[in-house]
Amino acid sequence: MALPVPLYEHVKRQIAEAILIGELPAGTVLPGEVALAGQYGVAVGTIRRALADLTAGGMLMRRRKTGTVVTGRASQHGLRFFFQYFRLQGKDGSLLHSEAKVLSVEIKPATVAEAALFALPKGAPLLRLHRVRSIAGAPILHSRIALVASRVPGFPRQPAKVPALIYRHLLEAYGIRVAAVREKITAELASAEDCRLLQLSSPKAVLVIDEDTYDQTGALVIRSQHRANTAHHHYANEIR
């Protein structure tokens, strides 16, 4: 059974998403708490709690006479609630507004190793996605993502219809709440595919992030590999 998510967390994620995808750019002054409560259909206290958390995380700031303002910055710790796992930042630590394009959606059997990790029978079907994430039109990272097909019935099979925020979709559509992520980070020479997708010349190095994502029960939900060009960006991970 999925753990309930407090209402203020839903509001917080919606505001954070609007900031991260550029709908609320830096310098935007948010409406007052009463107006926001009406917009989101919640109590003023719920809005106040959501804004307080976003302010503590650095995404918002309070200014006397002006009100609540979008900063355009945030620590990774402050984004821990947000269902977008993307830790590449600008060299100055700025938030990056990225766009994801899904290249393919396939159902293929799990390998022996994958079946063991997902606690599945050998050959059980996995939903496999391949997508590229770009910043200002420049490809920066491509990812291969595998999920247990039986846990996500009805997941879109057309690349254009795949949700941009998979973690949030898992929660809202299937009650699967991402609770933990484990990563292994290495550096490798770019492959021919890396060079083609990330528009690199060879030889170049790429950052490789092997990522396992677990739900609220401790079960493995997603296995991913992200391959990134960090020539103009850095990987940020805060531990507190």
Residues 231 and 121 in one domain: yes
Q: What CATH number did the domain enclosing 122 receive?
A: 3.40.1410.10
User: Is 220 part of any domain?
Assistant: yes
Cα separation, 210 vs 205, whole angstroms: 16
Query: Could you tell me the two tokens for 131?
Result: 């997508």
| Host domain of residue 169 | 88-235
Residues 185 and 228 in one domain: yes
- The string of pLDDT tens digits covering residues 25-55 is 888 999 999 999 988 888 999 999 999 988 8
Of 79, 103, 138, the residue at which a domain comes to its end is 79
pLDDT at 239 over 60: no
Residues 137 and 110 in one domain: yes
Of 27, 62, 79, the residue at which a domain comes to its end is 79
Q: Supply the mean pLDDT for the chain.
A: 83
Residues 36 and 133 in one domain: no
Q: Does the bond joining 203 to the residue before it have cis omega, within 30 degrees of 0?
A: yes
- The string of pLDDT tens digits covering residues 105-155 is 999 999 999 999 999 998 999 999 999 998 888 899 999 999 999 999 999
Cα separation, 90 vs 140, whole angstroms: 12
pLDDT attached to residue 77: 42
Of 53, 79, 105, the residue at which a domain comes to its end is 79
Domains identified in the chain, total number: 2
Residues in the chain: 240
pLDDT at 81 over 50: no
Q: Lowest-pLDDT range, 5-14, 146-155, 176-185?
A: 5-14
User: Is 160 part of any domain?
Assistant: yes
Q: Find out whether 63 and 51 touch, Cβ atoms under 8 Å.
A: no
Residues 27 and 126 in one domain: no
- The string of pLDDT tens digits covering residues 212-228 is 988 878 899 999 999 99
Q: What CATH number did the domain enclosing 38 receive?
A: 1.10.10.10
Between 95 and 190, where is the model more confident?
Answer: 190
**Sign, Cα dihedral of 56, 184, 198, 162:** negative
User: Is 240 part of any domain?
Assistant: no
Residues 30 and 94 in one domain: no
pLDDT attached to residue 240: 41
Residues 193 and 220 in one domain: yes
Residues 75 and 92 in one domain: no
